[in-house]
Copies of this chain bind each other. A is one copy, B any other.
Amino acid sequence: MPGPNGRGVCVWFTGLSGSGKSTTAEIVIRLLEERGRPVTVLDGDAVREHLSKGLGFDRADRDTNVRRIGYVAGEVVRHGGIAVVAAVSPYRSTRDEARAMVGTDRFVEVFVDTPLEVCEARDVKGWYAKARAGEVKAFTGVDDPYEPPVAPELHLLTVGTTAEANARLVLAELERRGDLAPA
Say yes or no for A94: interface residue by CB 8 A criterion.
Answer: no
Question: Are A50 and B71 closer than 8 Å at their CB atoms?
Answer: yes
Copy count, this protein chain: 2
A residues within 8 Å of B by Cβ? 1, 3-4, 8, 38, 40, 50-51, 53-56, 61, 64, 67-68, 71-72, 75-76, 78-81
Residues of B within 8 A of A71 (CB): 50-51
A79 partner, pick from B53, B67, B79, beta carbons under 8 A = B79
Smallest CB gap from A65: residue in B: B54
Smallest CB gap from A49: residue in B: B71
Q: A68-B50, A79-B79 are in contact. Are A1 and B3 (CB under 8 A)?
A: yes
Smallest CB gap from A82: residue in B: B79
CA distance A67 to B54 in the complex (A): 14
A72 partner, pick from B3, B53, B67, B72, beta carbons under 8 A = B72
Question: Are A78 and B81 closer than 8 Å at their CB atoms?
Answer: yes
A54 partner, pick from B8, B50, B54, B80, beta carbons under 8 A = B54
- Min Cβ gap A71→B in Å is 4
Residues of B within 8 A of A50 (CB): 67-68, 71
